Structure 1
Amino acid sequence: MSHLSRTLPMKRAAHVYLVRDGHLLLVEERMDDGSIFYGLPGGKALPGETLGDAAVRQVLVETGLTVTDLMFVSLLEGELLTGTRNECYALFGRFTATFHGEIDPTDPEVVGVKWVPFAQVESLVRYGPPPEVEERNPLIWVPTRDFVQGQPRAYYPI
């Protein structure tokens, strides 16, 4: 089979940079191996759902906050996890937004929600195994690093 005829499943996801007083809101999730993973609120889009609608829905479930006035920040696009059982073509949108409400996650996988100073965000990121976990791919965190440094780009080819 030639490379051109290979069809990859599409993974579409949206995450939101929620900012308050130089802090970024991160969610804490427990991974299968018991470790704590810090990530941006957001997640996979459902079939037929826009990235914007996915962002609003996922942030509400993961944090309890209602987001409005989504502003596009960046898009990551490209093949991810090539050669693993989870290989896919990724379209990951990043947004900022206005938000209101109280922190009250209803997602059972979320064990905490934390405002983290910009300077500490990168120190919480864990890279490495298992390789199927795309959130631990360093490329996924480059846009966040750029965002907290005040230098986001609009497009990140993976």
Structure 2
Amino acid sequence: MKYDCGFTKENKWFRYRAAAIIIEKDHILFAGNERENYYYSIGGGVHIGESAEEAVKREVLEETGVEYEVDRLAFIHENFFDGDGTLEGKECHEIAFYFLMKPRGTQELNSNSYTQGVKENMYWLPIDKLKEYRAYPTFFKEKLKNIKNEIEHIITYED
């Protein structure tokens, strides 16, 4: 049995997450499902005993059906937010490592992913129009236009 690095205690929720930045033809890949009313980055909880890089490769393969290679770590994100959807009523704290993945030159995927029993869909959203979507993390809207060569540390307090 694999366990994610995270816990829920009363109304507090914490998770250590590894996530992917997959860009093809000026579009970034997001996931979504019918239960949540927003788009979210590809990725998931890091398992105990697993490195963030191993986790992101596993999550990308699980969600897209495609093996992507890691280019480099781009962002460390400390995210504080009030949960909604499945996390309704929870005070949430997430630490995420965002890895830039090497492009493959195609937007073709082989996705057949489910999250908590609900079908997950993949969406290629245009980077220059991200402001028009309810997509998380919100810092992508600005930061993806000009990704720096060093690792950026970002802290957000979402409403």
Q: Aligned pair in 2 of structure 1 residues 99, 10: CA closer, same or farther (>3 Å)? A: same
Deviations along 1:110-155, one digit per CA (max 9) or x if unpaired, are 44222221122231216xxxxxxxx5xxxx312x123322155700
Q: Find 1:157's aligned residue among 150, 155, 158.
A: 155
Deviations along 1:50-104, one digit per CA (max 9) or x if unpaired, are 211111111111111211133111101265549x864454211111112558412
Please give the root-mean-square deviation of Cα atoms over the aligned residues, in Å: 2.8
Deviation at 1:25, TM superposition (A): 1.2
Matched, 1:107 2:110: no
Q: Which whole-Å CA distance do the structure 2 matches of 1:22 and 1:78 have between them?
A: 25
Matched, 1:11 2:10: no
Q: Aligned pair in 2 of structure 1 residues 81, 24: CA closer, same or farther (>3 Å)? A: same
Q: Aligned pair in 2 of structure 1 residues 141, 79: CA closer, same or farther (>3 Å)? A: closer
Counterpart residue number, 2:5: none
Cα contact 1:80–1:88 (8 A) shared by 2 = yes
Deviations along 1:8-43, one digit per CA (max 9) or x if unpaired, are 764111111111121111222222xxx543121111
Residue correspondences, number: 134
Matched, 1:117 2:126: yes
Counterpart residue number, 1:43: 44
Q: Which whole-Å CA distance do the structure 2 matches of 1:116 and 1:78 have between them?
A: 22
Task: Answer 1 or 2: which has greater helix percent.
Answer: 1
Q: Name the amino acid aligned to 1:50.
A: S
TM-score, normalisation: structure 1: 0.69
Secondary structure in structure 2 of the residue aligned to 1:52: helix
Q: Which whole-Å CA distance do the structure 1 matches of 2:102 and 2:26 have between them?
A: 15
Structure 1 gap segments, 5+ residues each: 1-7, 127-134
Shift >6 Å, 4+ stretches: none
Q: Which whole-Å CA distance do the structure 1 matches of 2:142 and 2:75 have between them?
A: 10
Task: Give the % identical residues.
Answer: 16
Cα contact 2:57–2:68 (8 A) shared by 1 = yes
Matched, 1:145 2:141: yes
Cα contact 1:27–1:110 (8 A) shared by 2 = no
Matched, 1:97 2:101: yes
Structure 2 gap segments, 5+ residues each: 1-11
